[in-house]
Chains A and B, each alone.
Chain A
Amino acid sequence: MPKAVLVDLTKCIGCRSCMVACKQWNDLPAERQGFVNDWATPRDTTAETWTVVKYYIEDKGGRVVWRFVKRQCMHCVDPACVKACFAGALRKTPEGPVIQDPSRCIACLYCFNACPFQVPRYRTGGEGPVIMQKCRFCFDPGGIYDRVGQGQAPACVRACPGGALKFGEREALIKEAKERIAQNPGRYVNQVYGESEFGGTSWLYLSDVPFEELGFPSAARPAMLSLLTWTPLAAGLWLAAKEA
């Protein structure tokens, strides 16, 4: 049964322990950062930062709304990145996670381009080749970073103090999400984001603010849009890395 995480944005307190927990489990170093107006540093995921919490702060006619939106790979049910990766470095697992094999990555950036959420990031600094990195849902079959394969929740879920993250079977979590909507009239917008968006995702979201306002893409954008544009760049990066 595929696994999933239900993110209830009404319960997130914006502490960002999920971000540190991710680095703690996956041995990811800190990157140099600078000031960000809304305090949500770092702004975006990188090859060393696989999850971020974005802040949404809006003055709605004198009433301030502040929401905290955890973002990471959505682990699509039918992932476009996997289809785009001709190197075979990405695969969709029956357990749900979409995981990468960095040793096969040729840094062509096709996955980035294909991803409706623009998740994949490339490790360019340090030694070794340029490779794609992203959240792997703490699923690392046969590797040392495995949690989900061993029956444990991902590190971020375990760390969350607000109870905003829940790990479980995808079908059961969709059912639970719908129950939460039904049992709390007026609390949520009537949508379980990820149930069907982009063919469905393993990370599911509940919110009281419309998802478009929180930066979630509302419709599938044409994938492979700029394949041609990207190919030379990717090839260049690949060569540069090899030479280094």
Chain B
Amino acid sequence: MRKISRREFIKYAGLGVAALSLLGSVGRGGPVFSQGTVGALPKLRRAKETRSICAYCGCGCGLIVYSEDNRVVYVEGDPDHPINEGSMCPKGIALSDANTIVNWQHRRQLNPRRITKVLYRAPGSTCWEEKDWDWALKEIAKRIKATRDATFEEKDEKGVTVNRTQAIAHLGSASLDNEENYLIHKFLRSLGVINIDHHARL
């Protein structure tokens, strides 16, 4: 088992300062992070190892993402993981492709198909325009407010308080993290959105 530094431990333990103090002295065991069995190989000697869970089907396989200079250089199954025991299916082992791909010079480069800028397509326009986040967030917020305020129902026809808008819809994602979905749900309900659905229905 690889020893991990206190800083790393805090990162992996994922505890806020308040929760850390709650732990008091840290317990006997500690997380299992045996060094990825291939981490010491020449190809990966410089790489950082990060434990992750596959982004595809619902099996929940563990994987190790190897990265250098903030780019993924290699992905392999996590040998510690009890479900996949280090093996992966073809989709899982190809996960690196979402970040970097291997080009014809046999080198990794950012997947050129990734969208790395905020894009905007105006009504009737035939193309995308690149925008920045501040502009986009503000403009979307204005659209949300305009639509919500124009269609908001405080009470229904029977006089029951309903506080909703039916003019905004959201299809969410089974690919997002729990914490993200939770905040999106809160966000939508705060607006009064009731048209909410996602992959689970399909």
Are chains A and B touching in the complex at the 8 Å CB cutoff? yes
Using CB atoms and an 8 Å cutoff, list the residues of chain A in contact with chain B: 15-17, 19-21, 23-25, 27-30, 125-127, 143-147, 150, 152, 155, 158-161
Please tell me which one of the listed residues A20, A27, A29 contacts residue B93 in the complex, with CB atoms under 8 A apart: A20
Given A24-B93, A28-B102, A28-B106, CB of A152 within 8 Å of CB of B77: no
Q: Could you say which of B41, B74, B84 has the most chain A C-beta atoms within 10 Å of its C-beta?
A: B41
Instruction: Contact check, A158 vs B86: say whether CB atoms are below 8 A apart.
Output: yes
CB distance from A147 to the nearest CB of B (A): 6
Instruction: Contact check, B92 vs A25: say whether CB atoms are below 8 A apart.
Output: no
Instruction: Contact check, A159 vs B77: say whether CB atoms are below 8 A apart.
Output: yes
Q: Which 5 A-B pairs have the closest CB atoms?
A: A161-B87, A17-B90, A144-B43, A20-B90, A27-B106
B40 interface residue (CB < 8 Å to A)? yes
With A27-B108, A143-B42 given, can you name 16 additional A-B contacts, CB distance below 8 Å? A17-B87, A17-B90, A17-B92, A21-B88, A23-B102, A24-B94, A27-B102, A29-B103, A30-B101, A125-B104, A145-B43, A146-B43, A150-B41, A150-B42, A155-B76, A159-B77
A144 to B42, CA, bound (A): 5
A-B pair number, CB within 8 angstroms = 74
CB distance from B85 to the nearest CB of A (A): 9
Instruction: Contact check, A24 vs B75: say whether CB atoms are below 8 A apart.
Output: yes
Instruction: Contact check, A158 vs B40: say whether CB atoms are below 8 A apart.
Output: no
B19 interface residue (CB < 8 Å to A)? no
Instruction: Contact check, B38 vs A147: say whether CB atoms are below 8 A apart.
Output: yes
Please tell me which one of the listed residues B38, B87, B104 contacts residue A160 in the complex, with CB atoms under 8 A apart: B87
B166 interface residue (CB < 8 Å to A)? no
Instruction: Contact check, A20 vs B104: say whether CB atoms are below 8 A apart.
Output: no
Using CB atoms and an 8 Å cutoff, list the residues of chain B in contact with chain A: 37-38, 40-43, 74-77, 84, 86-90, 92-94, 96, 101-108
29 inter-chain pairs at a CB distance below 8 angstroms, sorted by A residue, are: A15-B89, A16-B90, A17-B93, A20-B93, A21-B93, A23-B102, A24-B74, A24-B96, A27-B106, A28-B102, A29-B102, A29-B104, A29-B106, A30-B101, A125-B104, A145-B43, A146-B41, A150-B40, A150-B42, A155-B76, A158-B38, A158-B76, A159-B76, A159-B87, A159-B93, A160-B87, A161-B84, A161-B88, A161-B89
Interface of A is mostly: loop
Given A24-B96, A27-B102, CB of A15 within 8 Å of CB of B41: no
Q: Note all chain B residues with C-beta closer than 8 A to A24.
A: 74-76, 93-94, 96
A29 to B112, CA, bound (A): 14
A30 to B97, CA, bound (A): 11
A27 to B108, CA, bound (A): 8
A150 to B43, CA, bound (A): 11
Instruction: Contact check, A126 vs B104: say whether CB atoms are below 8 A apart.
Output: yes
Please tell me which one of the listed residues B42, B43, B77, B105 contacts residue A158 in the complex, with CB atoms under 8 A apart: B77
A146 to B44, CA, bound (A): 11
Q: Note all chain A residues with C-beta closer than 8 A to B86.
A: 158
A145 to B42, CA, bound (A): 7
A233 to B96, CA, bound (A): 39
A15 to B90, CA, bound (A): 6
Closest chain B residue, CB of each to CB of A53: B90
Q: Note all chain B residues with C-beta closer than 8 A to A25.
A: 43, 74
Q: Could you say which of A20, A125, A150, A155 has the most chain B C-beta atoms within 10 Å of its C-beta?
A: A20
Instruction: Contact check, A159 vs B106: say whether CB atoms are below 8 A apart.
Output: no
Q: Note all chain A residues with C-beta closer than 8 A to B93.
A: 17, 20-21, 24, 159
CB distance from B24 to the nearest CB of A (A): 40
A28 to B37, CA, bound (A): 22
Closest chain B residue, CB of each to CB of A155: B76
Q: Note all chain B residues with C-beta closer than 8 A to A152.
A: 37-38, 41
Q: Note all chain A residues with C-beta closer than 8 A to B108.
A: 27
